[in-house]
Structure formats: structure tokens, C-alpha cells
A and B are shown apart, each in its own frame.
Chain A
Amino acid sequence: MPINTVHIGAGAGFAGDRPGAALAVAEALAVAAQQGTPAFLIFEMLAERTLALAQLERRRDPDAGYSANLAALVQPVLKLCLQHNIRIIGNFGAAHPQAAARRLRAMAQELGFKDAKIAVVSGDDLSARLTPADLAARETDGALLKDRKDIVAANAYLGAQPIAEALAAGAQIVVTGRVADPSLVLGPLAHAFGWDWSDWDRLAAGTLVGHLLECGPQVSGGYFADPGCKDAPDLDRLGYPIAEVRPDGSAVITKPEGSGGVVDLRTVKEQILYEIHDPAAYLTPDVVLDLTGVELAQQGPDRVAVSGARGHARPDTLKATVCFESGWFAEAEISYAGPNATARARLAIDIIRKRMAVLQPGLSLRADIIGVVSSFGDSAGSDLAAAVTESEDVRVRFATRHAEAEVAKLLLAEVEALYVAGPAGGAGVRRHLVPQLASASCLIERDLAAPRMELLP
């Protein structure tokens, strides 16, 4: 019997997403699954640098290197998903998908599912195949990789095909490393509906559904509320999104009944354009998506119909992200409050700039006054210099970055010394120093990545 609807939900939109948020989605999917509708739950947990951090973990511990939040996010829904054949697809494999798959198998066995089928998608890791010089030659924007030796991770964004193959092989859980975020959704849709890998309009439609789901609740009322202007109710129990997808790729975006948040034209429009450059050409490994003809219609409370995506042939190259070590980042803050607080804050900045110019000439240093201008301001400080806002409760924030930790620490020591050697009433110093990873983008030939799928034996 041909399938006429697939339900697919998002359980996480980033590595640090909320444990337990997926449960209401899984419960709604279970109802659909019981009525015979194929159901899938995706977890997107891999930002640009997350994978490099995982690679560093794997260097320290050969059994680590997958998402630290894997168990916290998947455990609450695992039993329900395995019971009701809600198939899970997640990029929580990070730098070590095999280890993540073994962990998931152990979790399933503890729940009494001895033979859960778990697949691993790999081949995104380029570090064994491309030298730093090979990568530098393929860098797209700038020359950050030139002569660089300290590369931590180099991964291509794989597409949806190996995910669909894993599902065709019967996998109940598909663990990936780096794949394009929308491919986590396109893989199950292409598998369920049997879409051809050159049916560009359907691949585009499925990619659009993936794009709308990949950031979890950002389409269902998260990253949205502006009180009195555009409200979203009950955000404390924000519902994560579910797409009900038709064989032509058109879909209704919704969320679990009774959950908080909102799905309306405004939330969907904001997410359609999120992190988009040219709306006529959104590039993924699977297709080039053209959003310009997309039509939306509110079909009822928290139900928005999405149609009209168009597709063009997929790009010849794959995007890859290369991460490398990038020195130390130091940040320190101090508060000033009460009469003339802003003037005392400005004096503190003046003192620190002069002291640091003597201690470490040429060090790049940023200073903000939180409460006057900080988020909007430029790093050179011209917005802060021009600001006329006065506040009686401000926080001064300093930041620097340097290859040597000892140099970055000089700033931390000087900010702490403002307690005794700065303006009156300086309070509440907090400081931290963290190693930094930076990233660069490359375009690589498709045959340099080697996507493969294997079922865990």
C-alpha cells in the first residue's frame, strides 16, 4: 500500500538542547505510528565546532568522541521509540559514530531490546585522506589554513543517501557524524516515499522540511517571543516541532497538542530564512533548494502548510569544515552601580587599556559596558565612545585572545586588581580563560568523501 503521510519530529536542535523536550514529540509520533503512519525522530546536535571538541575528547579517551548529551537526550524517548517503531536519526555520533552506536545498543539492551538494529553512517572524516596542504588548497573564504599544522578535525557534510540506505536496511536508529542538517530529515523522507535521487523538486521539498525542523523549537515559538508584539504562550513547556509530510514533499508543520509555543505564519517565515544567503539557491549535498516560490497557509491552530519548494541539480562539490586550535580566549567582568556608575565604568576601561598597553603592547582588547552598549557595539569601541546612555547598574566586560595562555591571563589579573587599584565601588569580578578552536570552510570534490553505511554487528 503506498504511503500517503510520514510524520517526522525534532527532538533536539543543538548540542545543548533540553533533555526531555523530545518526549512529547515521541508521544505524538507514537499515536501516528499506532495508526500505521511511518514515524521518525531526528536529533540535530552538531554545530560547527562541536565536532572538533568531540575529536579532542576522542584523543583523550578512545571510547569517547560522540555527543556528551547523547544519553541525556535519547534515554527519555528510547523505550517509546523502540516499542512503536519510531526510527531515530541523529548526528550525535560526532567524531566517533561507532562508539555512539555501541552506547545506544547498551542503552537499548538495558531496556530489554536485545536486537535493536543500529546503523552507523561514516566517511565524513577527511583527516586521513587530505593533508593540511590539500585542505588549504580548497579553502573557500580567506587563507586561514595556509601553513597550518594544528588541525583538529576536517569533515565533509554528507548527504541524505547513506541515511536512506541505513533505513532501507532496517535500522531503527541511524547514527551519523557530520551530515548536512536538513539531510537528517530528507534521508527518512526519501526512504519512506521512494524518491529518486535526481527528483530535484521532491528533494528540495524534503530539504525545506529538514531546514524547518533542524533547529528544533525555533520553528514552533522558540527564538521568537517579543512580548506585546509577537507572543508565544507557555514557553516553559515549549513544544518541539513535527512535520506531517505528503508524498509530493508538501508538509504541515505542527507541534504536540497541549504543548507551549506557537506555530504560525510568523514563526515559519522566520525559520525559513534562518541562516539563508540567496533564497533562490540554498546549497546542500543533496540538492539546490529554491525558496522563492514557497507558499504558506495557516490550516488551524499551530498548523502551517508549506508547499512550493523547487529544486535544481545538486552541487558538484561538498562543503567541509576544518577546525584548528586558535590560542586562548580570556574574558573578565566587573560591576559598577549607583550615582555616576557609567563614568566609573568608563574610567575602569581607560585604566585597563593604558595598563595593558604597557604590559603587552599591541594586544587586541575589547571593552564593553553592559547596560550602555555591548551586544550591538563594534570591537574597536566607537559605538561605546559615542553612546550617551547612562545607567546606574552596569557591568564592564573585557575580552582578549592570544596564542599564549600566560599573556591572556595578564588581562584577567589586571581586571581583578581593579578591586583595589581602580575606580570606587568596583564589585563582582568574574574571570575565565578557555582554549579556542577556530574553523574554516572548504569545498571538496565529491569523490574525496567516502560515505558508507554499516549495521552494527
Chain B
Amino acid sequence: MNKMKKKYTGYFFILPAFTGVMIFYILPFFDVIRRSFTSVYGGGFAGIGNYTAVLTNGAFLKAAANTVRFTLLGIPLLMALSLLLALGLTGIFGKYRQAAALLKSTFLVPMALPAASVVLFFRLLFHGKGFFNAVLSWFGFSGADWMSGMRALFVLIFCYIWKNAGYTTVLWMAGFAGVPESVYEAAKVDGAGAWNTFWHITIPMIRPVIFMIAMISLLNSFQIYREVWLLAGNYPAEPIYLVQHVFHNWFLSLSMDKIAAGAVLLCIFVAILIEFLQRIWEK
């Protein structure tokens, strides 16, 4: 009896969370899969018609390409920049641990700020008569329309990095802290320099952390849509027209069938991407 108790105790602990996930994530997702094979109104079976419609839809393909481009540019930039920040801060604050702890907390502020306030701030920065154009004019350059053309992509990446850099830096620093001090001391005794220590000790030892940072950055890249939408509306400049814009606009035109098919396709794409990254990592 006691053995049985021990065996199932853990399941009872995870039951509330598992129930919530089932109700709010898993079951709705199965409903999304179901809807992807039916028509919007009346629910008649549509075969793979919705998938065909999505895969031949110019707007979806354009948005998907934009999303991939943004992800490929944004994630490496974010990871590199936050790594540099983490390295610098670890070095500087190695001696001032209390200040480091305080600074770590402030890094998380951008994630806690309401999207509407953040967007207001970005508007002030990127408006035709905003901060960036003012700075440019001080140096004798003419201002630019930051929300049009490829400049809008820069704004998008800027927003993404601004919002996530602090959090990612904290993750890097946590990873660094997990490497035992004794390993560094042994490397020092063996005459390893800073670069060698970083490349041959730190990086291999925090490999799982790097993978986790990459995944979190990927997930966070989807969340930046809220700010972009508030900043530029349903139809922004083409380079920042993301898949979420398509989903949002499809909802307004009641194209739930296409949204469902698009969501399933996106899910499959992300699953393949994660699997691909994991395999590369394992090698």
C-alpha cells in the first residue's frame, strides 16, 4: 500500500497543472486541428482544402518569410548582445554581488511593462519628429520615416532586443553561475587564458542553458507581435508583416478555417525547427 502511495504521489502533485494545461492548451489545440479540416460556418468537412488555401495564400507566404527573416536576424543578435552584456556584468560585478543582484532585477523591467506604455515610448522614439530623427538632425542628417520599408524591420528588431535583452542576460548570467569555480581554477593552473577558458570550459558546460536561451528567445519572438500591432496596425510596412498579422486579419474576416490550418502548419514548422536545433546541439 505504501509502495502504491509512493508511486502515485507525484502524479497527484502534477494533476492540477496537468488538468489546466489539458483544458486550456491541449484540448483547444485538438479543436484547432479539427477546425483546420472543416469549413467555418456549418462545420462541413473540407478535406485539405484549408491547407491548400493557406499554402497558396500570398499574404501568408509573405508573412511567413518575414517572420523567418525576423527570427533569423533577431535571435542571434539578441543572444550575442545579451551574452556580451552578461560577460561584462559578470566581470564587473563579480566583486560587487549586491549591486549585481539589484541590476539583475532591473533587467526584467521591460518584460513587466504594459505593452501600451512601451508602444507609446517607441512612438516617441521613432516618430517623424521623434527622438531618433532629432538626434540625426543634430548631426546634420535628414530624418527618416522609420515605420516604412526595411527601416521598419530595424524598429521591430530594436523593440525585440530592447524588451528581451535584460531577461536573456539574466539567463546567461545564471548559466555562468552554474559552472563550478574549481573548474576555472584548474584551467588557470594549467595556464589557460580568458578566451580559452570561455571557449573550452564555459561554453561546453552551459550548452543546455544556451539551448534553453535559444528556445525562449524563439518563443519570445512570437510575443513581440503585440507591440508591432499597436505600433503599426493591421497592415504595417511589408517587412514587418508577420504571420500573426495574417491570423488577426483573417479573424476579422471570419476566416477561422484558414487560421486553424495556418496554426497547425506553424506548429509543425516550430516542432521541426526545435527537433533540428536539438539534433545539431547533440552533435
Answer yes or no: are A and B bound together in one complex: no
Binding site for B on A (CB under 8 A): none
Binding site for A on B (CB under 8 A): none
